[in-house]
Structure 1
Amino acid sequence: MGSLNSFTSGRVASDGYLKPTKRNLPDLVVTEPTLHRAASILMKIATQFRDLNHRISVACGESGYTRKVIGDEEGRLKRSSFDVNPWGPALPTLVFIDEIAIGLTIYEQTVDKEMVYLDGKYVPVHEARKLKPGLWDGIRKNRYMVTTGQAPSKRLCLRAYSPYYLVEWTQTWTEHSASLVKQIEDIVQSLIARSQSLAVELAEANRAAAVERARWEAERVIAKATAERLAILKQREAALKELLNTIDSWSAGRRAEAFFDDIIARSTDMEAEARRAILARVEDAKDLLQSPDSLEALMAWISPPAAPPE
């Protein structure tokens, strides 16, 4: 109850819902006229659970729990189409029934109402008649087009949900036939009973998740081994190609040396001047070719990794 000042000291959305700047607050999505009643209901629910040795944690900071965004469950809160950023607490309000947590949200339901655009905002027709009754006399009323919009109804809804990522579940109590205060005992007993089946569902979901994680891990190990094997094969292929190129270069060098040796041997029968000229050409050709040394070529070659197992 001490947190209500944080709700009323903040902003108000275009549709009348409170948008406090503080985020660590009870999960109440309401207008100011219903704020105190909503907080009172949450306090009475907490008292009932406390008497049964269970607890409610407001703005629960424990890990492993998430707040469920209000969706399309029965009695849902239909926000204005212009309100793209509806308020919600940063942390969930949870009731812990033994070891099982259940999320709680109290929100004000909206209803379809005839609206008219007046002084820069949409106002329910019955309020517009009170504000400017003269506008509804004579032909001037035709200037104000009546449309259907969503407006707060002052009826509260309690939404209970699974705060666990692996289990999807939501149940909503509305005030269509009775106030939430009169339904508290039924709500508490229903949630206690639901916690037992929720525990079973959560255990099964955790087992399924463990199996899925094991399958994923096995696939990841296989994929990693396959990638490593392909990388080794690629390295060995590149090393083989480099070695063959080195051998080809060495073979070409050996053929060139044999070619020069043959010329030198045949030049012995030539006249001295002609022999000097041919030997000079041989030296120039050798400098140009620079035949590789086989030992140096092999030492410069990068050895590949060992062949992977089949």
Structure 2
Amino acid sequence: MEPDATPSAPFGIARDELYERVWAAPINHLAEELGVTHYHLARVCEALNVPRPPAGYWQKKAVGKEEPRPALPAALPGDQVRWNRDKPLAVPRPKHVHRRVERKAAARPHRPMRHPMLMGVEESFRKSRSDEKNEFLRPYKYLLPDIAASSNHLAVALDLANEIYNALDLEGHRVMFSPADQKMRRIHVTEQEVPRKDRKYGRYHTGSIWSPRRPTVTYVGSIPVGLILTEMTERVTMRYLDGSYVREDSKLVRTAKPWQLVHSWTSEQDLPCGRFRLIAYSPLANVNWSVSWQDTQAADLKSLVPSIVARIQSSEAELRALILAEEKAAARRRKEWAEAEERYRRQEDRRAVEQAQADSRRQLAEIMEKWAAATAVERFFMEAERRLEQVHDERRADILARLALARAMLGEQDPLTFLSDWLAPEERYQPKYPQP
């Protein structure tokens, strides 16, 4: 566990400030000053894309032979620009991999370079909670590209995502996980190829489809656009045969013997169909914008990639207008909420004043009752003592003793002590607002 932040950086450090401090002192000394390990500080520098002094820099600087420090790279949209202890670090930018060009590369079939977001993810997708052929993969890992596919069509999904991601990157719209220090949401996606009122996916028709912990986004200018690639489902008639459900149009059912069909029955299910839908949407809260494309008989999704990129590029002005409208609506909601809070505080203040007045009146009524009771007791003893002055026989000593016992039993009851314990309304509660 890291120690508390020092007074010099109570809430974190801005990217440009971290750059200056990393090049002003060795990383071990700076890490100790900030209360973290130098390994963690190195991770922070990678996440914020802050260059660090190379090995031997400080020894060379001591003898005046250090190399000039590199400039701080410009921050791109979506980059983390501040390190806060209470927020997770961003995933470092992927480093460019230079591939060696072989002499006879042209003779080989051309395969597009794998997008950094998709390198090595197939194995993670296949480490799934269920690997049923009639279900979507549900990987254990949650920091993966936003792709939902069945096991049989995962390779197709990754190739399709690679085409889309690379096409966006070529146009300057890098694809990445949503920044860890920003709140972005993922919209609900309907996986049915043909929208229906009912849903029959999974066992008991309540199956859930995997979704990542953080959205996959691309940036149009400075505006994030979420990307979801999902395999669609189609409504299929299934027959229960030999202990499992199989498609009604499968070879197993067509070749089944009549006696095998006697105790079988059919049911409808929504199964992955191998066709895909891409959804582009706004991951910003309360900004409702989305557009989708899907495989059809007229055109497959891969052939639509150029038009997809063009549509996403052209959405900047539309999204900016929606974001501006939402910012105005959010400001209006904040103002209405503040006004409602102020009304509530005034009502609570007025209620507390009224409660204090009621409590003071009730306590005063109780004091008056006690006062009356104490006065009656005092009158009783005074009247008894007055009458006792007229008694001169042997009863006088006995009555005096009994009066003393009675006074001792009741104790001293001074009505003024009751009044000194009374609290006025202003002593109970001080109003925060002027009262009418």
Q: TM-score range by the shorter chain?
A: 0.7 to 0.9
Q: Select which of 335, 340, 343 maps to 1:219.
A: 340
C-alpha deviation, 1:158, in angstroms: 0.9
| TM-score, length-scaled by structure 2 | 0.62
C-alpha deviation, 1:266, in angstroms: 4.3
CA distance in structure 2 between the aligned counterparts of 1:237 and 1:267, rounded to whole angstroms: 45
Whether the aligned pair in 1 keeps the contact of 2:192 and 2:233 (CA below 8 Å) is no
Does residue 95 of the first structure (1) align with residue 218 of the second (2)?
yes
Instruction: Summarize deviations over 1:232-263 as a string: whole Å, max 9, x none.
Output: 32233223322332233234333443443344
Corresponding residue of 2:124? 6
CA distance in structure 1 between the aligned counterparts of 2:390 and 2:268, rounded to whole angstroms: 118
- In structure 2, give the amino acid aligned to 1:217: A
Does residue 165 of the first structure (1) align with residue 288 of the second (2)?
no
Call closer, same or farther: CA 1:232–1:291 in 2, change over 3 Å. farther
CA distance in structure 2 between the aligned counterparts of 1:66 and 1:193, rounded to whole angstroms: 22
Does residue 110 of the first structure (1) align with residue 222 of the second (2)?
no
What fraction of aligned residue pairs are identical, expressed as a percent? 24
Determine which structure has the larger strand proportion and give its number.
1
Corresponding residue of 2:265? 145
SS of the residue aligned with 2:327? helix
Whether the aligned pair in 1 keeps the contact of 2:191 and 2:230 (CA below 8 Å) is no
Whether the aligned pair in 1 keeps the contact of 2:192 and 2:232 (CA below 8 Å) is no
Corresponding residue of 2:79? none
Instruction: Summarize deviations over 1:82-129 as a string: whole Å, max 9, x none.
Output: 1523222222111111222121111112223332223432222343x2
SS of the residue aligned with 1:241? helix
- In structure 2, give the amino acid aligned to 1:97: V
| Higher-RCO chain (CA-CA 8 Å, sequence separation at least 6) | 1
Call closer, same or farther: CA 1:268–1:206 in 2, change over 3 Å. same
| TM-score, length-scaled by structure 1 | 0.85
In our comparison, the structure showing a higher alpha carbon Rg is 1
Does residue 27 of the first structure (1) align with residue 149 of the second (2)?
no
Instruction: Summarize deviations over 1:192-232 as a string: whole Å, max 9, x none.
Output: 22232122112212221221122122212221232233223
Corresponding residue of 1:71? 190
Q: Select which of 186, 189, 207 maps to 1:84.
A: 207
Corresponding residue of 1:300? 421
Deviating 4+ runs (over 6 angstroms): none
Whether the aligned pair in 1 keeps the contact of 2:374 and 2:413 (CA below 8 Å) is yes
Does residue 50 of the first structure (1) align with residue 173 of the second (2)?
no
Corresponding residue of 2:324? 203
**Structure 2, unaligned runs of 5 or more:** 1-117
Whether the aligned pair in 2 keeps the contact of 1:46 and 1:56 (CA below 8 Å) is yes
Call closer, same or farther: CA 1:204–1:282 in 2, change over 3 Å. same
Which has the higher mean CA deviation after the structures are superposed, 26-35 or 255-264? 255-264
Corresponding residue of 1:175? 295
Determine which structure has the larger helix proportion and give its number.
1
**Structure 1, unaligned runs of 5 or more:** none
What root-mean-square deviation, in Å, do the aligned CA atoms of Structure 1 and Structure 2 show? 2.9
Q: Select which of 141, 156, 161 maps to 1:37.
A: 156
C-alpha deviation, 1:21, in angstroms: 1.7
Corresponding residue of 2:368? 247
CA distance in structure 2 between the aligned counterparts of 1:173 and 1:96, rounded to whole angstroms: 19
Call closer, same or farther: CA 1:257–1:151 in 2, change over 3 Å. closer
C-alpha deviation, 1:278, in angstroms: 4.2
Corresponding residue of 2:86? none
CA distance in structure 2 between the aligned counterparts of 1:246 and 1:58, rounded to whole angstroms: 71
CA distance in structure 2 between the aligned counterparts of 1:16 and 1:251, rounded to whole angstroms: 84
Whether the aligned pair in 1 keeps the contact of 2:237 and 2:247 (CA below 8 Å) is yes
CA distance in structure 2 between the aligned counterparts of 1:258 and 1:141, rounded to whole angstroms: 106
Q: How does 1:258-269 map to 2 (within 5 A)?
A: 258-269=379-390
Whether the aligned pair in 2 keeps the contact of 1:115 and 1:147 (CA below 8 Å) is yes
